[in-house]
Amino acid sequence: MCRSIKTLREPYVENPTSEDVHAAALQYVRKISGFRAPSKANTEAFEQAVAAVAAATQDLLDHLEVRKQAPSAA
């Protein structure tokens, strides 16, 4: 699912920006809604979902405790 969404936590990404978080949220909402761009009737719900997912994502990233180590090659 959503293979184009990137890992946003360290050590994979240092200091992800709000744009990174928003892009991931947008991609997620697009995937689960099935809409690349919502209709006029669904725009408000779509944008609210993106904002909620972005906020939850930022909260998660702000509270994760991650050991600083390089990602292993799998």
The pTM is what?
A: 0.81
Q: Cα 35 to the chain's mean position, in Å? A: 16
Has residue 44 been placed in a domain?
A: yes
Give yes or no for a contact between 24 and 6, defined as CB atoms under 8 angstroms apart. Answer: yes
Count up the domains in the chain and report the number. Answer: 1
Domain housing 51? 18-63
**Which pLDDT belongs to residue 6?**
84
Q: Considering the domain boundaries, does residue 55 fall inside one?
A: yes
Position 74 in a domain: no
Give buried/exposed letters for 23-35 (b at 16+ CB in 10 A, else e).
bbbbbbbbeeeee
Q: Is the pLDDT assigned to residue 9 strictly greater than 80?
A: yes
Cis peptide before 16 (omega within 30 of 0): no
Give 4's pLDDT tier (boundaries 50, 70, 90): confident
In a domain, residue 59? The reply is: yes
- Per-residue pLDDT tens over the stretch 13-63: 888 999 999 999 999 999 999 999 999 999 999 999 999 999 999 999 999
Residue 13 zone, left/alpha/beta (φ > 0; ψ -120 to 50; rest)? beta
